[in-house]
């Protein structure tokens, strides 16, 4: 029997939880991806590194069960006709990251800025940067996580950072959620 | 110069920070949905909001954050094809004290925008020249 702590939430909750982001499309894309593999709820193993949400107690792993409504499922059916798979996976990862911060991290409201052609996510009340990535292949996870750690720690504000890397492989749905401190605050150059 | 302080100012700044973020994410969603015209108009609003936020952060003494939002505004203008405006904002961002790798990224973006601005100027000159050769002769509309 699986004795990991289990949390079960509606993915649609992120829309109200993160008022400074428009996340409806991320919800729909997450459901498009999850519903290919599972009926609602879809299960993910979540592994925390470098921190533990207080709700977890002494554990660093838990089971996340993500629910969605029939209405969202209907919208999600159309997504595969119009969107690129890579874009769907990345937006789905943003949705799951938003769910974790909304439910398990006090003051975990997210904001976004743009830097060139990429989006940078921030947790302003925690003074942290956030990097999110998604993949459909479990063997890509270690490399993605390494890249995201480097990126999050090179944020221009010199803030500490979280990374959330989601794997949507049917055989192994996994989220690696980690916290990283700036070891040495970088000196500013003029 | 006295800095504006106090809760009403800070809450207005926080509201604008939130609005800029919402507009950016909405513009991104509209791009995803293939609604290009609406995405363009939302991105333009986001750019204006980010510029305003950057000025207010400067005024509040939060210079590093101001740079992040100025670069964000520049990135919107770049996506909108408004390269000269992007160049102005990126140059302003580079006038601040920045971590080395972040400065390099902004400089790369600046080079990209300058190249695009130059090409745009070249295109406009070619169009004008072609229109004169087409027999319109005089200076139109002046």
- B60-75 pLDDT, tens digit each: 999 999 999 999 999 9
Shortest Cα distance, chain B CAs vs residue A188, angstroms: 5
A12-32 pLDDT, tens digit each? 999 999 999 999 999 999 999
Q: Could you tell me the pTM of the whole model?
A: 0.89
What is the rounded distance in angstroms from the CA atom of residue A159 to the CA atom of residue A126? 9
Cβ neighbours of residue B3 closer than 8 Å, sequence gap 6 or more: B59, B60, B61
What is the rounded distance in angstroms from the CA atom of residue A169 to the CA atom of residue A36? 11
pLDDT of residue B121: 84
What is the rounded distance in angstroms from the CA atom of residue B10 to the CA atom of residue B65? 14
φ/ψ of B80, rounded to 5, equals -80, -5
B22-81 pLDDT, tens digit each? 999 999 999 988 899 999 999 999 999 999 999 999 999 999 999 999 999 999 999 999
B-chain CB neighbours of A20 within 8 Å are 17-19, 21-22
Residue spans of the domains in chain B: they are 7-135
A-chain CB neighbours of B20 within 8 Å are 113
Nearest residue in B to A186, CA atom: B99
């Amino acid at each position: 029997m699986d004795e990991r702590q289990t949390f079960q939430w509606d993915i649609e909750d992120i829309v109200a939880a993160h008022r400074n982001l428009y996340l409806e499309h991320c919800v729909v894309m997450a459901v498009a991806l999850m519903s290919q593999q599972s009926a609602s709820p879809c299960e993910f193993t979540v592994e925390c590194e470098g921190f533990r949400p207080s709700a977890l107690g002494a554990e660093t792993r838990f089971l996340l069960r993500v629910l969605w409504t029939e209405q969202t499922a209907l919208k999600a059916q159309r997504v595969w006709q119009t969107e690129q798979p890579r874009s769907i996976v990345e937006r789905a990862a943003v949705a799951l990251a938003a769910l974790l911060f909304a439910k398990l991290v006090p003051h975990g409201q997210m904001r976004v800025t743009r830097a060139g052609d990429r989006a940078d996510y921030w947790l302003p009340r925690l003074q942290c940067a956030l990097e999110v990535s998604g993949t459909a292949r479990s063997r890509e996870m270690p490399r993605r996580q390494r890249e995201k750690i480097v990126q999050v720690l090179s944020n221009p504000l010199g803030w500490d950072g979280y990374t959330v890397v989601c794997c949507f492989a049917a055989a192994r749905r996994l989220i690696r959620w980690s916290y990283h401190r700036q070891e040495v605050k970088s000196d500013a150059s003029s | 110069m006295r800095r504006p302080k106090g809760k009403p100012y800070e809450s207005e700044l926080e509201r604008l920070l939130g609005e800029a973020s919402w507009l950016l994410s909405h513009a991104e969603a509209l791009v995803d949905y293939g609604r290009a015209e609406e995405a363009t108009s939302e991105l333009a609003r986001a750019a204006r909001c980010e510029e305003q936020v950057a000025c207010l952060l400067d005024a509040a003494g939060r210079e590093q954050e101001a740079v992040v939002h100025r670069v964000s505004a520049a990135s919107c203008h770049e996506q909108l094809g408004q390269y000269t405006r992007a160049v102005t904002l990126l140059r302003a961002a580079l006038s601040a004290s920045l971590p080395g790798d972040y400065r390099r990224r902004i400089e790369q973006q600046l080079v990209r925008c300058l190249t695009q601005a130059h090409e745009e100027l070249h295109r406009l000159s070619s169009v004008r020249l072609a229109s004169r050769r087409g027999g319109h002769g005089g200076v139109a509309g002046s």
